[in-house]
Amino acid sequence: MPIIYHETSKEFHLYNKQVSYIIEIMENGQLGNLYYGKRIKDRESFAYLHEDEARPLGALTTPEPNPLCLQYTRQEYPAYGTGDYRYGACTIEQQNGSRITDFLYATHTIYEGKKKIEPLPSTYVENKKEATSIEITLYDKVMDTNLILTYTIYEELAAITRQARYVHNGEASIILQNAMSACVDLPDMDYDMVHLSGAWARERYIKTRRLEQGIQSIYSMRGASSAEHNPFLVLKRRNTTENQGEVYAFSLVYSGSYLGQVEVCSHDTTRVLLGIHPDTFTWTLKAGESFQTPEVVMVYSADGMNQMSQTYHTLYRTRLVRGYWRDRERPVLLNNWEATYMDFDEYKILRIAAKAKEAGVELFVLDDGWFGKRDDDDKGLGDWYVNLQKLPNGIAGLSRSVENIGMKFGIWIEPEMVNKDSDLYRAHPDWILSVPERYETPSRQQHVLDFSRKEVVDAIFAMLDKMIGESKISYIKWDMNRYITECYSRAAAANEQGKIMHKYILGVYDLYSRLTTKYPEILFESCSSGGARFDPGMLYFAPQTWCSDDTDAAERLKIQYATSYVYPVSSIGAHVSAVPNHQMNRITPLATRANVAFFGAFGYELDLNKLTTEEMKQVKEQIQFYKNYRKLIQQGIFYRIKSPFEAKDTAWMVVAEDRKEAIAAYYQQLNKVNAGGLRFKLLGLEEDMLYEVTAFGETQKYYGSELMYAGIPINRDQFAEDIGDFASVLFHIKYADN
């Protein structure tokens, strides 16, 4: 059993072959942390790891002879106000105005498997033997409130999940003002903090900073996880690389406003907090009511950033993503957005679809502009019925026509939004998030529907259900093109307004649940102006996410490289688009555009009718290549080799689990004059295995040790002569039977 409770020492040890996490019940009844890191051998007591000292100005929470000073004690779920002056994991206002709490150990339960935490998304198990969980119940007798901390450790992965649930029993109501999902205290500050930050079209750039005393944080108060900061952060030792060194990673399974905070105290200990952002949240609990926090997934690696990422990839691809599409190879698609924008009719769409079928595309996707009076972005949102002037046979007719061509049909929706110039808004002007007598801030000429209200979600579901039920739809791209302002519900009382941000996300999850339950074989792809809501909460419902609206191959190298820190290749929507690129006005080779997009859920974002005969030939070859190797690419083990944030070139590869096959890619940013030689060193292969390596139209044999330690010579002159700037090359590596 990978969770042990030592009765004598009152300690819990969570461990597997890779990681240990040790909790103690302290003298005052609260929970402390003794250790988190590489697996250590179990023993009856780890009390020697407990550290606290009554330093000057420290307040003692227990009397002599065993005084306890919380200010310098590592805790599991701390609260501010009784001697710990750092930020706490919870703040609860009581009827007398006090915010002082005292959650003490009451009981615990250890069990095989992992429970759901509905209505929130979370990781799961299919077999109870895959993981072990512990629920530790703490009790505050003054409030008459239970706090249940749940930990799950996976048997084969260095992954531990955390979440908290408040259950209020007292007659007097309490108000949650801060309810973090997890707190982790570490004994030193010798870390770099790594996070993924950016903006529209440059989402998830890698940012690294050295920890210093004080607060370092990432956050969103936008109502979405955001393009600005992904809900994920890493603490890594300063000598850690992709392939060696210690890493602690934290990922929040949530799609709304959040806070990820790292605090270093005056004595150089480090506290990590992650959960719903307290500045957009208050939640009243009456007697008998409860509140569930989102899940945090913590991953430990003793062997660098690649191992950390591979753990997340395995867990999220196989035990967060679920349903029909989890283990299936994703279809090659063509989306008409950059080909036509909203200027299309049925003839134009079917002409593009027919050419796509000729190239080998398996799924045609109709993007924005098919509904209501939608010719530009200032009208029609919310009217989820077809524009018969554009599509006289409706979505039902068009979808069947596309299937008759020989492809599946997909469609774009943006169900959380509404234009004021729409039938929906004219009928229900109070259905948007807005404050009476205040300016209603537009963004992209649209407003946010109040998904905290069940009747709003019901109405949107009814419209979408009718359209889907009448048509042959195999894929839905769910977009969300603005953040939340004026977060106020006209249906909620004044003292309930602090719940709206969170209830909005619960409404989004509810609509996703209804649609994916009723239509389990539809492939959903989430989108938010590209990657502004690329988070684990979305992956639970939609197994892939449109990575970024920036489709330029050179820019995508950075975006996709950094996204792979936590998200699997199969989740990354990546398309080949036309040149000059619509976002960067840059021209990159067609081969490189495909070589970048291959490492994701692959597709095209252009009108193939506009390509030359030679380009069309290349597209057919690209699609066939992807079909041949997409299972390897989507389900293999991904390695980052050369970072575009540290060098001018980029390299990565994906390796089959049995190490018998791999695809490696090398991308040159700018051409070089009279350049020296280059050795491309691979990763993840078997040293003594003989491989056939195919690249540049030639096949040669090498042992794995040669490929990893000596490397493959790459002729820079061949890059210069054949392609030039933004050149790339793929290597197919396969076990040589003889």
Final residue before a domain boundary, out of 604, 635, 666: 635
Quick one: what percent of the chain has pLDDT higher than 70? 98
Final residue before a domain boundary, out of 606, 635, 664: 635
Q: Are residues 231 and 144 in the same domain?
A: yes
Residues with Cβ < 8 Å from 605, sequence gap 6 or more? 334, 335, 337, 338, 339, 551, 575, 576, 577, 578
Among 549, 550, 552, 607, which one carries the catalytic annotation?
Answer: 549
Rounded Cα gap, residues 322 and 319, in angstroms = 7
| DSSP tag of 486 | S
Residue 356 lies in a domain: yes
User: Is residue 67 predicted with pLDDT exceeding 80?
Assistant: no
Place of tokens 């349903």: 323
| DSSP tag of 421 | B
Q: Are residues 36 and 99 in the same domain?
A: yes
CATH code, 402: 3.20.20.70
User: Is residue 61 predicted with pLDDT exceeding 80?
Assistant: no
Q: Which of 60, 75, 73 is nearest to 105 (CA)?
A: 75
Chain segment 418-460, per-residue pLDDT in tens? 999 999 999 999 999 999 999 999 999 999 999 999 999 999 9
**pLDDT on residue 52:** 80
Rounded Cα gap, residues 324 and 405, in angstroms = 24
User: Is residue 721 predicted with pLDDT exceeding 70?
Assistant: no
Q: Are residues 58 and 166 in the same domain?
A: yes
Residue 660 lies in a domain: yes
Q: How many domains does the chain have?
A: 3
Which of 96-107 are b and which e, b meaning 16 or more Cβ less than 10 Å from the residue's Cβ? eeebebbbebee
Residue 374 lies in a domain: yes
Residue 487 lies in a domain: no
| DSSP tag of 608 | G
User: Is residue 64 predicted with pLDDT exceeding 70?
Assistant: no
Rounded Cα gap, residues 657 and 650, in angstroms = 23
Whole-Å CA distances, 12 to 191, 234, 247, 643: 26, 25, 23, 40
CATH code, 722: 2.60.40.1180
User: Is residue 270 predicted with pLDDT exceeding 90?
Assistant: yes
Amino acid symbol at 514: R
Q: Are residues 694 and 604 in the same domain?
A: no
Q: Are residues 548 and 575 in the same domain?
A: yes
CATH code, 169: 2.70.98.60
Q: Are residues 714 and 608 in the same domain?
A: no
Average pLDDT, the chain: 96
> Which band of pLDDT confidence, cut at 50, 70 and 90, is reported for residue 697?
confident
CB-neighbour burial class of residue 586 (10 A; exposed 0-12, middle 13-18, buried 19+): middle
Average pLDDT for 130-137: 98
| DSSP tag of 303 | B
User: Is residue 722 predicted with pLDDT exceeding 70?
Assistant: no
Whole-Å CA distances, 34 to 18, 138, 148, 481: 17, 18, 20, 45
Chain segment 517-536, per-residue pLDDT in tens? 999 999 999 999 999 999 99
| 375 catalytic residue (yes or no) | no
Residue 563 lies in a domain: yes
Q: Are residues 98 and 218 in the same domain?
A: yes
Q: Are residues 575 and 655 in the same domain?
A: no
| 479 catalytic residue (yes or no) | yes
Q: Are residues 540 and 667 in the same domain?
A: no
Quick one: what percent of the chain has pLDDT higher than 90? 92
Among 84, 421, 479, 535, which one carries the catalytic annotation?
Answer: 479
Final residue before a domain boundary, out of 601, 635, 669: 635
Q: Are residues 668 and 576 in the same domain?
A: no
Residue 83 lies in a domain: yes
User: Is residue 738 predicted with pLDDT exceeding 70?
Assistant: no
Place of tokens 């790891």: 49
Rounded Cα gap, residues 731 and 654, in angstroms = 11
Give, in degrees to the nearest 5, the angle at Cα 566 between 565 and 568: 100
Rounded Cα gap, residues 676 and 477, in angstroms = 46
Beta strand residue intervals within 527-579, DSSP E? 544-546, 572-577
User: Is residue 414 predicted with pLDDT exceeding 90?
Assistant: yes
> Which band of pLDDT confidence, cut at 50, 70 and 90, is reported for residue 69?
confident
Q: Which of helix, strand or coil describes residue 65? A: coil
Place of tokens 């539809």: 522
Q: Which of helix, strand or coil describes residue 450? A: coil
Q: Are residues 223 and 121 in the same domain?
A: yes
Average pLDDT for 33-53: 94
Average pLDDT for 116-142: 97
**pLDDT on residue 737:** 80
Q: Are residues 241 and 364 in the same domain?
A: no
**pLDDT on residue 645:** 96
Chain segment 666-696, per-residue pLDDT in tens? 999 888 777 777 899 999 999 999 999 999 8
User: Is residue 474 predicted with pLDDT exceeding 80?
Assistant: yes
The domain containing residue 130 runs over which residues?
3-319
